[in-house]
Structure 1
Amino acid sequence: MKLLLVRHGEASFNASTDAQRPLTQQGIRAVGQQVANPAIPWADFSALWASPYLRAQQTAQLIQTHLQERELALELQTHRAITPHGQLTQVQEFLLAQPQAGIILVTHQPLVSGLIGHFCHADAYLGEPMMPASMALLEGELAAAACMTLTQLEHP
């Protein structure tokens, strides 16, 4: 299985709620830079999931547009468990139930670093720090504690 964990791009604080914070122009540029990275094996992914928060949805839409330009169409789907305070066990259960072998998750800190730590070391506190628009590629037999390896880490 391949799991691409993406932290949303830089977000504005000019919103009435945290969930409504949009990407800044810098955030849009950084995500654009990341999706143009030829080192990411985009063709290996068959599912695109994002948090319902606006900044994650916008980031996922930029990824989706990039993939469509490369004739790799993925439907953008939303999952409530991948918000900033999502639970590792809920995300793991969700991923284990997915039939796809290549999944992109667009999510937030601290969850994204916690997922790296959990899937690679069975310790949420050992995950890599993820800046806005950072991408981490994990590979392994299944998305479970200590069953994956961090094979690629890309920062803008």
Structure 2
Amino acid sequence: MQLYLMRHGEAGYQAHSDKERTLTDAGRFQTAMMSHWLVRSVTHFDLVLVSPYVRAQQTWQEVAQHFAEPNEWIVLEELTPSNNASDTLDVVLAYAEQYEAENVLVIAHMPLLGYLVHAMLPHIEPPLFTTSGITLIEKSHESTFLVWQESPHSCCKIS
């Protein structure tokens, strides 16, 4: 399975709650750039799991413009910033197994994403994800490894 972990795009702070924060224009732009770049690595997603927070939903809307409709996409309450990474990983993997998904996109938040990587690869310190940043984890029954981690700044030469 290829597990694409993506942080939401840059969000503003003018909202009644953290859950309601929306993407900025820069967040939409960077997410679109990463989507264009990501199309070179994957043609479709079998399963998309998205945080219920507005900025993650908007990130998925931007990404979805660049890909065919996934076989399944689910808003997952466990993908909130401070959720337990081990429990969340169990849920993500269970959904991937249930839908026999080979290409899974997860759109969520820091620090959860860093801890998800660490839960799968305990020898790696939890990495930081820039906004719109993506990490690819390859997972099989025999092994799990980090393939790459990209950000709008590293892949797309934003100055």
Shorter-chain TM-score: which interval?
Answer: 0.7 to 0.9
Residue matched to 2:69: 73
- TM normalised by structure 1 equals 0.86
Measure how far apart 1:122 and its partner are: 5.8
Distance 1:22 1:154 in 2: 22
Residue matched to 1:119: 120
Amino acid at match of 2:81: P
Deviations 1:96-137 (A, max 9, x none): 3123122100000000111112212266xx122111000000
Q: Secondary structure at the match of 2:33?
A: helix
Measure how far apart 1:41 and its partner are: 2.4
The alignment status of 1:155 with 2:151, answered yes or no, reads: yes
> Are the equivalent residues in 1 in contact too, given 2:86–2:119 (CA < 8 A)?
no
Structure 1 residues 24 and 136, CA, compared in 2 at 3 Å: closer, same or farther? Answer: same
Q: Secondary structure at the match of 1:115?
A: helix
Q: 1:95 aligns with which of 92, 97, 100?
A: 92
Measure how far apart 1:52 and its partner are: 0.1
Q: 2:81 aligns with which of 80, 84, 87?
A: 84
Structure 1 residues 62 and 76, CA, compared in 2 at 3 Å: closer, same or farther? Answer: farther
Amino acid at match of 2:24: T
Measure how far apart 1:64 and its partner are: 1.2
Measure how far apart 1:38 and its partner are: 4.9
Structure 1 residues 43 and 10, CA, compared in 2 at 3 Å: closer, same or farther? Answer: same
Distance 2:12 2:50 in 1: 18
Which segments of 5 or more consecutive residues in structure 1 lack a partner in the other structure? none
Give the alignment's Cα RMSD to 1 decimal.
Answer: 1.9
Deviating above 4 A after TM superposition, structure 1's stretches of 4 or more consecutive aligned residues are: none
- TM normalised by structure 2 equals 0.85
Amino acid at match of 1:109: M
Q: Percent identity?
A: 27
Structure 1 residues 116 and 28, CA, compared in 2 at 3 Å: closer, same or farther? Answer: same
